[in-house]
Amino acid sequence: MSLKRISGSLFALALLLCLVAAGLAAGSRRNDRPWMDRGLSPDARARLVVQAMTEPEKIQLLSSTSVNPDQPLPLAGLIRGIDRLGIPAIKETNAGLGIAIPFRNGHHNTADEATALPSGLAIAATWSPDLAYAAGSLIGSEARAKGLNVVLGGAANLARDPRNGRNFEYAGEDPLLTGSIVGEAIRGIGDRHVISTMKHFAVNDQETNRSNLNAVIEPAALRESDLLAFEIANQRGHPGAVMCSYNRVNGTPACENDWLLNRILRKEWGFDGWVMSDWGAVHSTARAAQAGLDQQSGVEWDGARYFGEALAASVKDGAVPGRQVDEMAQRVLRSLFAAGVVDDKTPATLADSSRDAQLAQHLAERGIVLLKNSAGLLPLAPDIAHVAVIGGHADIGVMSGGGSSQVIPAGGPALQIPAPAAATWTVFDPSSPLNALAAKRPQAHVDYASGDDLKTAAALARTADVAIVFATKWEAEGHDSGDLSLPADEDALIDSVAAANPKTIVVLETGNPVRMPWKDKVAGILEAWYPGQGGGEAIANILVGNTEPAGRLPITFPAGDAQLPRPEIPGYTSSPGNPIDVDYREGAAVGYKWFDARRIAPLFPFGFGLSYTSFAFHDLSVTRSEVPSVSFTVTNTGLRRGSAVPQLYAWAPGADGQVTQRLVGWRRVDLAPGQTERVDIEVPPLLLAGFDAERDRWQLSETAYPIAIGASAGDTPLTASLPVAPRELPP
């Protein structure tokens, strides 16, 4: 036998022995660790782990630290793993609009970069739950590729105030739209074996004084508005975690709120994951634990380590039953098993950055909303000779919003400038609209003026066939806007350019609605939100007509602050830190519902958005059944392909008897010129119901509800009456 063959046989024998040893080890590990049996339910597995845990190990699971310099990436929260039990470390990062690794003193490492998606409002403006799912799936994949297993993404607060500095992270003002978009993003994250965190539960609807704010609102109205958004998101997405918010709700801190956490979230909605606090939102040990808080996040942010030794002490002195701590640990572990975090420790295949970049751009394109287009100025004529691009750093990139959701975009920020009134930076994502436009109109002169000097900008505009002004307004976590105006110099810039050239188009990069005193002076308006790292390309594609403007507003654009339920943000001018009550006396009449009830005409209504073609809706019919439905026909009456977003509204009384307009369904329909499609929409009875707080039940009180199909909340020409059997809805 040759030496080569002998060594080959020895190698095979050694391999066999290794496999046998590995098999035995796995078998014995299965015996030592019965919770590793994937055939058991997540609940059973979590229970088995809890039985094997020491008390300090349980307590360890119930708080996270924000100080983790030993980690490859700075984490928002870290809970160390329990090696002896095979429980991995829990690594939490922000990820509403992409994986958001914080800057390291203004700098970053390449590994901190991630795909910067458009803002939440932009994704909501697609009115596409499928695209929201795709965004979630991208976030989940990138999280896993970075070795992270919990993302603090799934923000479902309603945009009750269009000046809230975090609205850009959220999905607008309607419970159905928000719940559907956020729920699908959560589902997309979960399908990548990453836990998502639905937040900020609940009524953290302004940033001003968020830690000292008491949200005062009728419980029934709350059920029909903010909580309905969370309820729908929870049902569609099944998040593994929920984050309770900074504020109080009707006098009780959200993270100590038995009604919110135990009664509604767990008992009624069947949420079976864990509740973590927002960073710095815990005020007690026993009270919070008994009210349903499972985990104190970023303990360094709170006044004390409420869930560390203090929790152990509370168990000892009987203030918190030991069984309670078991349940808290069990809920954390259950989500780890349910999401596959324990079983599936290997990172997913590396995130595919070019595919992710394409999706970021596609989301931006589908979410950009065309608000005005006089005389068909857009799309720009193919033979246009001279375009003036002005302002907004359009030569460099596109604006993004600030705070914990800030993503460091792939390739690094295009520009970082000191942020207004905050010790941080305004980040511009790469992708310059100017360069993208120039590339798509190579025969045209595309010139740029910064807009710093009004005269230079006007002079350039005067010589051009079309002037495009980029106006930006930065919004960020921790701050609200004092009013709806653009920064004053930008209004003045638009005025001067429009005076010099009537063919002026304004492209807005904003995190919220803005006032537009110049609306009648300009020919076109495009709301691009914060469009993410593919934003420049996306804007240019829409301007030249490579892509249709497909977005519809997920939030009402008021004509001014005086139209709002609270013309001033409560506490905005008083000293920060003073406790305040915010009286949400509009109840469930949030956004367009308020405008409808008061018969006020906004600047642009919820649901609005123009297309490069036109549509007609006709032949509405209704079907009475347990789940009633409507059907109607949509026709593309224009000359280009395009997608209509017909919206179905109903008018139904809430618990307080006040009738509110409610979005109860919609559809996206892509049609060629002249094409027609019949569309069916089912109406979930919950969306017509009022919440009877006394009986703790949803109630359908009417025999018929007025309904209408239209292109926006303010344009609902096709009307009917929807017959329904009055009844109590099952809990």
* Residues within the interface to ligand BGC (CB under 6 A): 76, 94, 152, 199-200, 278-279, 404
- Exposed e or buried b for every residue in 202-226, given b needs 16+ CB within 10 A? bbbbbbbbbbebbbebbbbbbbbbb
> 265: which DSSP letter?
I
Q: Which is nearer to ligand BGC, 297 or 510 (CB)?
A: 297
Q: Which tokens go with 278?
A: 């927002």
Contact predicate 501/524, CB 8 Å: no
Q: Which is nearer to ligand BGC, 77 or 524 (CB)?
A: 77
Q: Which is nearer to ligand BGC, 152 or 437 (CB)?
A: 152
- We find the least distance from the C-beta atom of residue 532 to ligand BGC, in angstroms, to be 19
- We find the least distance from the C-beta atom of residue 478 to ligand BGC, in angstroms, to be 8
Residue with tokens 């509800």: 705
Question: DSSP of 340-378, one letter per residue?
Answer: TTTT--SPPSPP-HHHHHHHHHHHHHHH-EEEEEGGG-P
- We find the least distance from the C-beta atom of residue 303 to ligand BGC, in angstroms, to be 15
Q: Which is nearer to ligand BGC, 76 or 664 (CB)?
A: 76
Q: Which is nearer to ligand BGC, 76 or 493 (CB)?
A: 76
d(CA 343, CA 341): 6
Q: Which is nearer to ligand BGC, 200 or 334 (CB)?
A: 200
- We find the least distance from the C-beta atom of residue 165 to ligand BGC, in angstroms, to be 11
Q: Which tokens go with 103?
A: 């800057």
- We find the least distance from the C-beta atom of residue 418 to ligand BGC, in angstroms, to be 21
Q: CB neighbours (10 Å) of residue 399?
A: 28
- CA 409 centroid distance within chain: 18
Q: Which is nearer to ligand BGC, 297 or 701 (CB)?
A: 297
Contacts (Cβ under 8 Å, ≥6 apart) of 240: 150, 190, 195, 196, 197, 273, 274, 335, 336, 338, 339
Q: Which is nearer to ligand BGC, 279 or 632 (CB)?
A: 279
Give me the amino acid identity at 698.
W
Q: CB neighbours (10 Å) of residue 12?
A: 10
Interior angle at CA 289, CA 285 and CA 295, nearest 5:
90
Q: Which is nearer to ligand BGC, 274 or 448 (CB)?
A: 274
Residue with tokens 């970021």: 360
**Strands annotated E in 566-646:** 580-583, 615-623, 629-636, 642-644
What HEC string does 112-155 produce?
Answer: HCECCCCCHHHHHHCCCHHHHHHHHHHHHHHHHHCCCCEEECCE
- We find the least distance from the C-beta atom of residue 279 to ligand BGC, in angstroms, to be 4
**Strands annotated E in 165-206:** 195-201
Q: Which is nearer to ligand BGC, 64 or 361 (CB)?
A: 64
Nearest to 688 by CA among 698, 678, 676: 698
Q: Which is nearer to ligand BGC, 242 or 363 (CB)?
A: 242
Q: Which is nearer to ligand BGC, 163 or 552 (CB)?
A: 163
Contact predicate 40/316, CB 8 Å: no
Side by side, which strands form the sheet with 398-399? 398-399, 425-429, 415-418
Q: How many residues are listed for the chain in this entry?
A: 731
Q: Which is nearer to ligand BGC, 340 or 403 (CB)?
A: 403
Q: Which is nearer to ligand BGC, 296 or 716 (CB)?
A: 296
HSE-up (13 A, CA, CB side) for residue 281: 30
Q: Which tokens go with 714?
A: 């303010």
- We find the least distance from the C-beta atom of residue 199 to ligand BGC, in angstroms, to be 6
Question: DSSP of 515-580, one letter per residue?
Answer: --TTGGG-SEEEE--S-GGGHHHHHHHHHHTSS------SS-B-S-GGGSSSSS-TTSSSPTT--E
- We find the least distance from the C-beta atom of residue 280 to ligand BGC, in angstroms, to be 7
- Percentages helix, strand, coil for the chain (3-state, rounded to 5) are 35, 25, 45
Q: How far is CA 679 from CA 600, 644, 648, 665, 668, in A?
A: 31, 11, 11, 11, 10
- We find the least distance from the C-beta atom of residue 643 to ligand BGC, in angstroms, to be 33
- We find the least distance from the C-beta atom of residue 109 to ligand BGC, in angstroms, to be 19
- We find the least distance from the C-beta atom of residue 407 to ligand BGC, in angstroms, to be 13
- We find the least distance from the C-beta atom of residue 101 to ligand BGC, in angstroms, to be 11
Q: Which is nearer to ligand BGC, 280 or 379 (CB)?
A: 280
- We find the least distance from the C-beta atom of residue 296 to ligand BGC, in angstroms, to be 13
- We find the least distance from the C-beta atom of residue 506 to ligand BGC, in angstroms, to be 31
d(CA 107, CA 115): 17
Contact predicate 517/491, CB 8 Å: yes
d(CA 379, CA 547): 9
- We find the least distance from the C-beta atom of residue 116 to ligand BGC, in angstroms, to be 17
- Exposed e or buried b for every residue in 444-465, given b needs 16+ CB within 10 A? bebbbbebeebeebbebbeebb
Q: Which is nearer to ligand BGC, 226 or 278 (CB)?
A: 278
Nearest to 687 by CA among 713, 668, 661: 661
- We find the least distance from the C-beta atom of residue 219 to ligand BGC, in angstroms, to be 24
Is the torsion defined by CA of 587, 588, 594, 599 positive or negative?
Answer: negative
Contact predicate 138/189, CB 8 Å: no
- We find the least distance from the C-beta atom of residue 124 to ligand BGC, in angstroms, to be 17
Q: Which is nearer to ligand BGC, 203 or 722 (CB)?
A: 203
Instruction: Tell me: cis bond preceding 200? Omega within 30 of 0 counts.
Output: yes
- Exposed e or buried b for every residue in 714-726, given b needs 16+ CB within 10 A? bebebebebebee
- We find the least distance from the C-beta atom of residue 87 to ligand BGC, in angstroms, to be 22
Q: Which is nearer to ligand BGC, 91 or 199 (CB)?
A: 199
d(CA 529, CA 408): 18
